[in-house]
Amino acid sequence: MDLDSGRRIAWCPGCGNFGILAAFKRAVESLGVERERLVVVAGIGCHGRMVEYLEINGFHVLHGRVLPVATGVKLANPDLVVVGFSGDGDAYAIGMGHLPHAIRRNLDITLIVHDNAVYGLTTGQATPTTPAGARTRSTPLGNPEDPIDPVLMALSLKCSFVARGFAGDVGHLSRLMEEAIRHRGFALIDVLQPCVTFNDTWAYYRERVYRLEDEGHDPSDWGAAVERALETGDRIPIGVFYREERETLLDRMPWISGDPPVRVRVGDAKAALSLALSRV
């Protein structure tokens, strides 16, 4: 399946977004998902152009609103495969209020975060994942704030699928995306993505990342996942930290059954909802 939209790519040469785009294309081809069933939702930032570069259904939404829109798409038509793309500023700053609720609802959608620890599109300001002490356009004397650890945060909320990838390991990242999309429930992949213009971390990550599966990590062990997530500095783990099969939001909403809501007439939908409420 050719997912290339034919648009000229405007990312800086060497940007980590290229690896994420390539990994996603590989994942979709491997999964064999029909183009008509795929929907991509992207936010504001350099990552947002994913919608333009993929020849599939997509939404380019307001800053921080990837998850509400992705949730609405999935609830309206559960037959669709819904994947959200967000940046670290988009997901963990203005969009942070939506993430815990997406995790607790466990709706079957995937969120892939392009985490370059900087606002690249707006010329290099600090984000919630920027390391303390880092000099950026908005912190010229050094970032005075401690960064958020997205993986550790997601684990603390018992997210049913938590992974970290690296844009420089396209094959591995593609396999993570496959697993996340296959997972029945909410899946988060935080992707370490260098920004060659404002935060060039290629060498830093290449010297430190290692694959969890190479060291026998058991992704069903939540405690072990937390221990791995606490590893920082000289060694940075990538791979699936935690995976758990449990009820999704739709499992707890039996009134959304049969034909997807998008195909139900308004009058019939109201009648079905009234019947469901009468049985509560």
Q: Would you write out the chain's pLDDT as a tens digit for each of its 280 residues?
A: 788 899 999 999 999 999 999 999 999 999 999 999 999 999 999 999 999 999 999 999 999 999 999 999 999 999 999 999 999 999 999 999 999 999 999 999 999 999 999 999 999 999 999 999 999 999 999 999 999 999 999 999 999 999 999 999 999 999 999 999 999 999 999 999 999 999 999 999 999 999 999 999 999 999 999 999 999 889 999 999 999 999 999 999 887 766 677 777 666 555 555 555 555 4
Task: Annotate the chain with DSSP letters as a single string.
Answer: ---B--PPP-SPTT-THHHHHHHHHHHHHHHT--GGGEEEEE-SSGGGGHHHHBSSEEEE-STT-HHHHHHHHHHH-TTSEEEEEEEHHIIIIITGGGHHHHHHHT-S-EEEEEE-SSBTTTTSB--TTSPTT---SS-TT---SPPP-HHHHHHHTT-SEEEEEETT-HHHHHHHHHHHHHSSS-EEEEEE--BTTTB--HHHHHHHEEEGGGGT--TT-HHHHHHHHT--SS-EEEEEEEE-----TGGG-TTS-SS-GGGS-HHHHHHHHHHHHHT-
User: Rounded to two decimals, what is the model's pTM?
Assistant: 0.92
